[in-house]
Chains A and B, each alone.
Chain A
Amino acid sequence: MLALIRKEILLEMRTKETLSAAWLLGILTLLVLSLAFDPTSELRPQAAPGALWVATLFASVLGLSRSFLPERDNGCMHGLLLCPVERSTLFLGKAISTLIFLSLAQVILFPVFVLFFNVSVTPSLGWVVLVLFLGLVGMSALGTLFGAISIQLRAREVMLPLLLMPLLIPLLIAGVQATAHLLSGKDISGTMNWVNLMIGFDVGAAVVAWLLFEYVVEE
Chain B
Amino acid sequence: MHKKTSDTVEDILTVVTGIVMLLAIYMVFIYVPNDKVQGMVQRIFYFHVSLAIHTFVAFGAVALFSILFLWKGTRVWDRLAHASAEAGMLLCSLVLITGPIWAKPIWGAWWTWDARLTTTLILWLIYGGYLMLRSATGTTGQGARYAAILGIVGAFDIPIINRSVYWWRTIHPAVLVTREGGSGLSDPRMQSAFGVCMLAFALLLVVLIMVRNRQARVADAIEELHLLVTPSS
A positions within 8 Å CB-CB of B: 142, 145-146, 149, 152-155, 159, 162-163, 166-167, 169-170, 173-174, 177, 193-194, 197, 200-201, 204-205, 208-209, 212, 215-216, 218
B153, A166: Cβ atoms closer than 8 Å: no
Chain A residues within 8 Å of B148, by CB = 215
CA distance A150 to B174 in the complex (A): 38
Chain A residues within 8 Å of B160, by CB = 170, 197, 200-201, 204
Chain B residues within 8 Å of A209, by CB = 153
Please give me the 5 A-B residue pairs with the lowest Cβ-Cβ distance, nearest first: A170-B164, A166-B125, A166-B126, A173-B164, A163-B129
A145, B149: Cβ atoms closer than 8 Å: yes
| Given A167-B157, A170-B157, A200-B160: A152 in contact with B129 (beta carbons within 8 A) | no
B145, A216: Cβ atoms closer than 8 Å: yes
Number of interface residues of B (CB under 8 A): 28
User: Is B154 on the interface with A (CB-CB < 8 A)?
Assistant: yes
CB distance from A59 to the nearest CB of B (A): 21
CB distance from B63 to the nearest CB of A (A): 11
B145, A218: Cβ atoms closer than 8 Å: yes
B positions within 8 Å CB-CB of A: 70, 122, 125-126, 129, 132-133, 136-137, 142, 145-146, 148-150, 152-154, 156-157, 160-161, 163-165, 167-168, 171
B156, A208: Cβ atoms closer than 8 Å: yes
B164, A166: Cβ atoms closer than 8 Å: no
CA distance A154 to B143 in the complex (A): 12
A170, B163: Cβ atoms closer than 8 Å: yes
- Chain B residue nearest to A204 (CB atoms) is B156
CA distance A197 to B160 in the complex (A): 8
CA distance A155 to B137 in the complex (A): 11
B164, A174: Cβ atoms closer than 8 Å: yes
- Chain A residue nearest to B171 (CB atoms) is A177
A170-B160, A173-B164 given; name 11 further pairs at CB < 8 Å. A142-B153, A149-B146, A163-B132, A169-B165, A173-B168, A177-B171, A197-B160, A208-B156, A209-B153, A212-B153, A218-B145
Chain A residues within 8 Å of B122, by CB = 166, 169
- Chain B residue nearest to A219 (CB atoms) is B142
B152, A212: Cβ atoms closer than 8 Å: yes
Chain A residues within 8 Å of B164, by CB = 169-170, 173-174, 197
Pull 30 A–B residue pairs with CB atoms less than 8 Å apart, ordered by A: A149-B146, A149-B149, A153-B136, A155-B136, A159-B129, A159-B132, A159-B133, A159-B136, A162-B132, A163-B133, A166-B126, A167-B126, A167-B154, A169-B122, A169-B164, A170-B164, A177-B171, A193-B167, A194-B167, A197-B160, A197-B164, A197-B167, A208-B152, A212-B149, A212-B152, A212-B153, A215-B149, A216-B145, A216-B146, A216-B149
